[in-house]
Amino acid sequence: MVDTSTQELAENECWELLRTQQVGRLALIVDERPVIFPVNFAVDQGTIVFRSAEGSKLDTLADRPHVAFEIDGLLDGEAFSVVVTGQGTEIEARDELIDALELPLYPWNPGPKHHFVRIVPESVTGRRFRVADRRELHPDDTPPARARPE
């Protein structure tokens, strides 16, 4: 039986994985509802920095700075995910902006990118598990049997 037990990752492993990715997803609460969108990001000394043109969504950060940020992927048959929760603040100080421009932050999106945001983490958690081969779970390649009403 394939072992798909979940491994909780140590924080340093989470940061290692974060450094391998270029795209993550940001979630925040806007008008009391969750919103989510993908962003290009870079790791910067224990923080996450991303660029975004989603100005209207990011305006809410001033009042509601709590964000969640996520990456996930598949590496050598193992699925991983890392979630960072923390406070997001727009980078506005000129010297900080200049430093942010030197980060290896290459937005894929060709549109204008006026906002640099730094996420200071409050929690960093990650998981890894071997992906269950569906043929091992369902060897006849049919959905699992279930009782039908007569």
Helix or strand or coil: residue 59?
helix
37 binds other proteins (CB under 8 A): yes
Residue 120 near other proteins by CB under 8 A? no
Span interacting with other proteins, options 13-21, 41-49, 91-99, 106-114, rule CB under 8 A: 106-114
Residue 146 DSSP one-character state = -
Of 2, 135, 147, nearest to 79 (Cα)?
2
Kindly tell me which of 94 and 148 has the beta carbon lying closer to other proteins.
148
Which range, of 10-18, 30-38, 41-49, 89-97, touches other proteins by CB under 8 A?
Answer: 30-38
For residue 10 the two structure tokens come to 């140590």
Question: In angstroms, rounded to a whole number, what is the distance separating the alpha carbons of residues 144 and 146?
Answer: 6
Is residue 121 within the footprint of other proteins (CB under 8 A)?
A: no
- Token pair of 114 as six digits: 């006026």
Give the three-state DSSP class for 14. Answer: helix
Task: Give the range of 9-17, 41-49, 89-97, 133-141 binding other proteins by CB under 8 A.
Answer: 133-141
In this complex, which beta carbon is closest to other proteins, that of residue 120 or of residue 132?
A: 132
Could you give the CA distance from residue 57 to residue 95 in angstroms, rounded to a whole number?
A: 24
Q: What's the closest the beta carbon of residue 34 comes to other proteins, in angstroms?
A: 4
67 touches other proteins (CB under 8 A): yes
Closer to other proteins by Cβ: residue 95 or 150:
150
Q: How far is the CB of 50 from other proteins (least distance, A)?
A: 14
Single out the residue of 84, 85, 74 nearest to residue 129, CA to CA: 74
